[in-house]
Structure 1
């Protein structure tokens, strides 16, 4: 799935706060977006879906952080809990997409995300055919839609920016391997 989709799902994690703690909802939404993007920073390390993706270990920090945020709700505790939860959900949800190959629509990889506790890769499920597929962008739009109506201007601007980036990526995704080959 696209980083924008993970960011959108991270925003959705803040939705309950729009009802129970509206003053904390914006910080939770932004932390959820950041946590949704964070694992994909391992693209820069060259080992995507292994270096910063922890479908098992993020939960070790997430559960206590959620408890602390519930017991002592404040901007910091809610931000940390939402960030970690979003990173955990991102890491798990990559299993439902394609593998790590440059052309995931060809289905040549059996590696969706690395499970550190078992020292093995989990195979992709292809519910989302590949990152940047039209259905991937549809999930982005659906999950970011609340960001346009339930939050203030900062979250709305972030939402619009991510929707634009996701749309552009969806339009060019299938051309990127060819461009990369030419440049490298």
Structure 2
């Protein structure tokens, strides 16, 4: 769901359009990065190393308050970055679990809650990363962002939406492909 997270972050950034249209392109980019940022742990302890569903909110709240009080582009960008990263962690709880074949729904690990020292179970509102509803959600977040952006930024976001659609088209073929390439069973994590 990385593209969906990133597109939601961009959506948060696009919310600046009515208030600060000059800052909107930067806010969209910052939101996009913030939405994707927690997934830097994809090759490590995914959804544990850089996912902080509770602590991220504790940082996002004062950052948002600062942005509302100060109103500078830098404070706004910081708030959007923090809000997008927080939303990512919370969205992962609403998605599928940590397994190579998430459509089988065998994992009870959604996101690690560092504050309470336990895994939060996946809710599977979006069954798994790469499910059709994942694409629809990302495209829905992207639509208003595409309406307030232009040029290379719009084309870049559109390419992310199209890449997300391609991922959905091949998602179920990836585990058997990984088994052939790496010569091992890509069973559940």
* Alpha-carbon distance in structure 1 between the residues aligned to 2:76 and 2:55: 19
* Alpha-carbon distance in structure 2 between the residues aligned to 1:179 and 1:114: 28
Of 101, 114, 117, the match for 1:103: 101
The residue matched to 1:117 in structure 2 has which SS?
coil
Q: Note if 1:43 corresponds to 2:42.
A: yes
Residue 22 of structure 1: aligned partner: 21
TM-score, structure 1 normalization: 0.94
Q: Note if 1:5 corresponds to 2:9.
A: no
Q: Deviations over 1:66-123 (max 9, x none)?
A: 1221222233222111111100000011111100100010011000110110010011
**Where in structure 1 are there 5+ consecutive unaligned residues?**
none
TM-score, structure 2 normalization: 0.92
Residue 112 of structure 2: aligned partner: 114
Of 107, 132, 135, the match for 2:133: 135
1:114–1:120 Cα contact (<8 Å) kept: yes
**Where in structure 2 are there 5+ consecutive unaligned residues?**
183-189
Aligned length: 182
Q: CA RMSD in A?
A: 1.2
Within-5 A mapping of 1:150-165: 150-165=148-163
